[in-house]
Amino acid sequence: MLDIHKLRKEGKEIERRLQTRDSSIDLSEIMKLDARRLELISKVEELKAERNRGSQEVGRLKREGKDATQQIEAMSAVSAQISALDSELNDDTKRINYLLSLLPNVPHASVPVGKKEEKVILRSHGEVPQQDFTVKNHLEIAEEKGLLDFTRGAMIAGARFPMYVGAGAMLEMALIQYMFFYHSRRSYTAVFPPFLANPESFYVSSQLPKFADEDYYCEKDDLYLTPTAETLLANLHRGEILSSSDLPKKYVAYTPCFRREAGTYGEEERGLIRVHQFNKVELFKFTKPETSYDELETLIEDVEGILQALGMHYRVALLSTQDLAQQATKTVDIEVYLPGQGRYYEVSSCSNCEDFQARRGNTRYRPAEGEKPEYVHTLNGSGVATPRLMAAILENNQTADGRVRVPDVLQEILGMEYL
């Protein structure tokens, strides 16, 4: 959530920068309501001071044995005014907070202004694979080898709920295990969180209220199925004041993820490319504001380490303003190449959210003993999501004789060299 105090000082500039994300953003209602709220606060304070003076006068008259009826009636009228203004003030505050909750984060100065497709490729690792045989896409490979069963998955749950079978299930589990332990051995604290969360947790992470229709909701229990472990990890220190020496705090978590992903999809998004349920290892950091962009770079490097260990060709892309998630001020995507479709797909988004989530969760730190607490910065990154990574492994590691070579780092876990 944006800082209302900052909006008062820099409203026009903030609005201009927000409009690079969405040209329809208009801060005028918020600013008018906030100005009126400040006026109401001033009036209430004046009336309370008047009531205090009146109460003192009533006390004096009673002590002197005089009639205080007129003063008591006047103070009763003042109290009624205060109550009415407090009600208006409460309504305005709720409306302001609701409108603020819908606004996205302000893009960082280094983020290119542009549409979703106007990302900037920062670098790439490795070379595009060159196969001297006709390559198959991951669906063809999975069907031939019995690795995936979308038909039975759809029978059990519905379309776009994949079911991994046999060696496919083993490879999926090996990926999760490898990535989880890879990061936990690199100073990330391992977390195995609940897979459901309450509305307050979803609000802190910025899933609510804006994206309620995209989430799976258990109405009877008032709980949501997590769309990403970021939603859970953002709440780990909700309401806490951390010490400067505690930071950065780094976490890695595994969860299944559930997303409605409403809409229609083209041929290029079949199979594991876009699904309603998938597995993901997530990285999350709580940092000091002055180090958060350095921490973003190391987060990206940690994710790249996974893809390099798996022998993947990938590229790193800086997203433009219109492609940022609501909570992010800067996002870098890591994309793997799928030769079966001849294109790149994102497998990890690494974002700095600055103090956007921390304000919602009131997560702060004390820079030094005796100093006023400040909001931390939060960062997140997929470390990584498995569906497209699985597709990339199948397509990039296929051989001319129809086999799929298991990446070296997974062979011991999986107990086989080829699928």
Number of neighbouring beta carbons within 10 Å of residue 329: 25
Residue 183 to residue 251: CA distance in whole angstroms: 9
The single residue of 259, 292, 295, 364 carrying the catalytic annotation is 259
Residue 371 to residue 352: CA distance in whole angstroms: 25
Q: Check if 388 is active-site.
A: yes
CA nearest neighbour of 349 among 362, 363, 330:
330
Instruction: Tell me the β-bridge partners of 190.
Output: 252
Q: Check if 259 is active-site.
A: yes
DSSP structure class, residue 363: -
Residue 374 to residue 198: CA distance in whole angstroms: 26
Q: Check if 274 is active-site.
A: yes
- C-beta of residue 253 within 8 angstroms of C-beta of residue 232: yes
The single residue of 21, 51, 364, 388 carrying the catalytic annotation is 388
Q: List the structure tokens of 269.
A: 């998004």
The single residue of 349, 351, 354, 360 carrying the catalytic annotation is 349
Q: List the structure tokens of 41.
A: 């606060």
Give SS3 for 302.
helix
Sign of CA dihedral 147, 179, 260, 335: negative
The single residue of 37, 51, 160, 274 carrying the catalytic annotation is 274
- C-beta of residue 34 within 8 angstroms of C-beta of residue 95: no
Q: Check if 349 is active-site.
A: yes
Point out the residues that are catalytic.
259, 274, 346, 349, 388
